Amino acid sequence: MPEIESADRNNFIDLSGELEEALIEIGKALPEWSMDGTFLADSTIQQYRAELGSVPQFRELKNALLSALSAEAGGYAVVRLGNIAQALGIEKQFLRVATALLAEVAAPFQPFQRWPLWKTIGTNLAAKPGMSTGIGYNAFHMDVVNATQPPDYTILLCVRPDPLGAGASILSDARAAVSRLAPSTRALLAEAAYSYGSFFELTEVGEEYAPFPVLDGKPADVGFVRFTGKMLAESDLSKSHARAAKELADELIAGQDTFTLQRGDVLIVDQHRWVHGREPLADGQHDVPEENRRVLLQLFLRSPQ
């Protein structure tokens, strides 16, 4: 189970023993998936849906998941699949179960051309500490922030937590944080003055967007709060725009949820509403064998247009 330090427990979904056993058996029978470009093929989605339809209590699980992801509930969920991971191992059979479940939310896809559907995020001691594979604080951000059509959902599946017990996930309701800002600050964030990152080997996310506004003025179901803490240090910002972004960053931290994912936990984040990040990993990572270090898998979801 995730160690919930500060979060709404309603966003965490446990499975009954009966449902876990049924999904373990389904996992042994689900076929390999097919891809249509960067997307999970519709034929695979239909196959998986047919198999899941016969699983007792699956409808209740799906409804609980969609409820947790709704605007009213907040927009993120953690599905606890640890016992299924224990039975199947986090390999092909388990990933088919996880992928089938996620396909009930939206269409799974992988916009990074160099990676398979599930992208590995390991722990690289040589990486910049603040990067996703680094060992330091990974500041709040949305994924693919510099695209005109970022993924609607980002998914993080925990293969192995930090064996030294740190590296908690952090999430914050970006729209709630924005609502606490002064109108003058929001006006600065609505200007196309921000930029971050490169844009290459990406598909199905529109065009490069640089510079971009943090606030695009669109409704929450289609617009984004285009924020990444890294742009504070790496963008050529005016003092006023940097100050506005820093005020938003402070509000995100003030309202953050914190929990530590465990093996088999699947975190689903609605990028239209929430940003995510990670607390630093524990000191002593150089003493942890590479095969024992923290590992996550990531994919993305696209909602129907």
Residue 199 lies in a domain: yes
Residue 142 lies in a domain: yes
Helix (H, G, I), strand (E, B) or coil at 239: helix
How far apart, in Å, do the first and last CA atoms of the chain sit? 34
pLDDT at 125: 96
Per residue in 168-201, pLDDT (tens digit) is 999 999 999 999 999 999 999 999 999 998 898 8
pLDDT at 116: 96
CB 246 within 8 A of CB 232: yes
Residue 221 lies in a domain: yes
> Which band of pLDDT confidence, cut at 50, 70 and 90, is reported for residue 10?
confident
Contacts 24+ apart (CB under 8 A), 122-128: 122/293, 122/294, 122/295, 123/162, 123/281, 123/285, 123/293, 123/294, 123/295, 125/285, 125/286
Q: How many domains does the chain have?
A: 1
CATH number of the domain that residue 28 is part of: 3.60.130.10
Strands 257-260 and 295-302: unpaired
pLDDT at 233: 79
Bridge-partner residues for 301, per DSSP?
108, 153
Gap between the Cα atoms of 170 and 3, Å rounded: 12
> Which band of pLDDT confidence, cut at 50, 70 and 90, is reported for residue 35?
very high
CB 150 within 8 A of CB 205: yes
Question: C-alpha angle 244/247/251, rounded to 5°?
Answer: 140
Residue 1 lies in a domain: no
Strands 119-121 and 138-141: unpaired
> Which band of pLDDT confidence, cut at 50, 70 and 90, is reported for residue 270?
very high
Residue 78 lies in a domain: yes
Residue 261 lies in a domain: yes
Per residue in 137-169, pLDDT (tens digit) is 999 999 999 999 999 999 999 999 999 999 999
Copy the structure tokens of residue 179: 């609502």
Give the residue-averaged pLDDT of 100-118. 96
**Residue 1 reports pLDDT greater than 60:** no
Residue 184 lies in domain:
8-302
Residue 3 lies in a domain: no
Residue 248 lies in a domain: yes
CB 140 within 8 A of CB 245: no
- CA-nearest of 170, 192, 194, 303 to 246 is 194
**Residue 225 reports pLDDT greater than 90:** yes
